[in-house]
Amino acid sequence: MTMLQGRRIVLGVTGGIAAYKAIEVCRRLVDAGAHVSPILTEGAMHFVGATTFSALASEPVQTSLWDEESPIPHTRLGQQADLIVVAPATARSIAAYAHGLSDDLLTATLIATRAPVIVCPAMHTEMWEHPAVQANLEILRGRGVIIVPPAEGRLAGGDVGTGRLAEPADILAAVEHSLASSQDLTGLRVLVTAGGTREAIDSVRVITNRSSGKQGHAVAEEAAYRGAEVTLVTTVDRPTPAGATVIRVSSAAEMQDAVMPIAAEHDIVVMAAAVADFRPAVVVDRKLKKDEFGQGGTPQIVLEPTHDFLVDLGLAKPAGQTLVGFAAETDDVIDNARAKLVRKRLDLIVANDVGAARCGFEHDTNAVVLLGADGMHHNVPLTDKRIIARAILDAVMALRTSTD
Ligand code: CTP
């Protein structure tokens, strides 16, 4: 029996050229045993015929809020679904979903569901890269929606670039994974730190680093999505998972003060934050003025080391806790990360080559190597930070079940 056997899946198809690939997604879901209810938007009907879907799916296609005898088809579909997958998702449908506009059957169903949702965008590269589209995806990610990112390749009209709908096999894998793991962290308490710390020079200036907090927030979102009780200690103002306890901090010392008293209460601690290693030794409690340093003069900022509290967490780790650190490296990534894993007594370290293209700080994508104290060595190639978060928590859960 497959993971999909008997699962009720709503397949939303919106109006893009990739809609023809949704036929294959539909067929594969049905072949795997799922009960598939297709919803096509009006736009989708310009690209593919409803008859094809009706023939392949478990129920006839629905396109309108007003077709059924029941005046509320969206609540029926939304409430009964085990999962909703939207493939392809156009920029318009992503925007409507992100902003709660329920003006057609698909968006109404998306708003009316509590089931996990997978969105598979497909559009031209220019549209995919537009800040409005990315901002809307960020909103959805923040609410626990899984985004299966588009691939690079040939697009409609002969263009080449990022924007092609992910392959049906990848969409199926995301569906299976989501159903398999949707609640595996239930009953666990997860503490996540995120973002770069800010160390004051004077009352207006800080020293910080390029960490955006995206990877840490993605771990918190994935943990919450999988049923964990999440505490997020963060330096950045980004969407946070619904239901999480959020503690906002700024400096390394504030993060340490927030984390240390509560760490032992957590089953899993993921230190994704880029904590400063040095801070100004003296903080001036007013704004330094140029004329204090004479004509053309500059202040001498003397740094002192911060305290590495991940070392303390490793030393004080309670039985049964899984402690995860990050290693942001530009050289000898694996060797340096492995050394940190041992020195800080971690169970898992996420080795992050922050010098590689589209990886690490500020990007939406990342590529990491997961190194376990048990010898685990798992490569996660360039992908969305939420999918990296998923791989990290999968590795954590694998470690926890092997030591049960
Ligand atoms: N960390 C911490 N406290 C610090 C510095 C780092 O808790 N003062 C944590 C980070 O959250 C991260 C891990 O330690 O999970 C590794 O941080 P990184 O800066 O990569 O390593 P360092 O130990 O500072 O080593 P190096 O300077 O050699 O890179």
Going residue by residue through the chain, which has 404 residues, state the pLDDT in tens, using 9 for 90 and above.
466 877 889 999 999 999 999 999 999 999 999 999 999 999 999 999 899 999 999 989 998 887 666 666 777 788 788 899 999 999 999 999 999 998 899 999 999 988 899 999 999 999 999 999 999 999 999 888 999 999 988 877 778 888 899 999 999 999 998 887 667 899 999 999 999 999 999 999 999 999 999 999 999 988 987 889 999 999 999 988 878 999 999 999 999 999 999 999 999 999 999 999 999 999 999 999 999 998 888 999 999 999 999 999 999 999 999 999 999 999 999 999 999 999 999 999 999 998 888 887 888 888 999 999 999 999 998 887 877 998 999 999 999 988 76
Give pLDDT tens digits for 146-178: 999 999 888 777 788 888 999 999 999 999 988
Start and end residues for every CATH 3.40.50.1950 domain found in the chain: 8-181
- Residue entry with tokens 């293209």: 357
213 token code pair: 């907090």
At residue 268, the 3 state secondary structure works out as strand
CA dist 14 and 34 (Å) reads 21
C-alpha of residue 312 to centroid of ligand 1, in Å = 12
C-alpha of residue 275 to centroid of ligand 1, in Å = 6
Which residues are within 8 A (CB) of 229 and not within 5 positions of it... i.e. 6 or more apart?
188, 189, 190, 243
CA dist 198 and 208 (Å) reads 5
Which CATH code of 3.40.190.10, 3.30.1330.80, 3.40.50.10300, 1.10.760.10 fits the domain covering 189-403? 3.40.50.10300
Does 325 sit in the ligand 1 pocket, CB within 6 Å? Answer: yes
Element (H, E) at 192: strand 189-194
Pairing between strand 268-271 and 322-329? parallel
Burial 268-295 (b: 16+ CB within 10 A, else e): bbbbbbbbbeebbeeeeeeeeeeeeeee
Whether omega for the bond prior to residue 88 falls within 30 degrees of 0, making it cis, is yes
Residue 82 CA to its chain's centroid (Å): 20
Closest atom, ligand 1, to C-alpha of 340: 23
Residue nearest to atom 20 of ligand 1 (CA): 327
CA dist 148 and 150 (Å) reads 7
Does 340 sit in the ligand 1 pocket, CB within 6 Å? Answer: yes
Closest CA to 20 of 156, 177, 134, 160: 156
CA dist 327 and 341 (Å) reads 9
Which CATH code of 3.40.640.10, 3.40.190.10, 3.40.50.720, 3.40.50.1950 fits the domain covering 8-181? 3.40.50.1950
Catalytic residue at 209? yes
Give the Cα-Cα-Cα angle 310, 364, 92 (nearest 5 degrees).
140
Closest atom, ligand 1, to C-alpha of 349: 15
pTM above 0.75, yes or no: no
Closest atom, ligand 1, to C-alpha of 309: 7
Does 326 sit in the ligand 1 pocket, CB within 6 Å? Answer: yes
CA dist 143 and 387 (Å) reads 15
C-alpha of residue 355 to centroid of ligand 1, in Å = 17
Does 252 sit in the ligand 1 pocket, CB within 6 Å? Answer: yes
C-alpha of residue 186 to centroid of ligand 1, in Å = 29
Start and end residues for every CATH 3.40.50.10300 domain found in the chain: 189-403
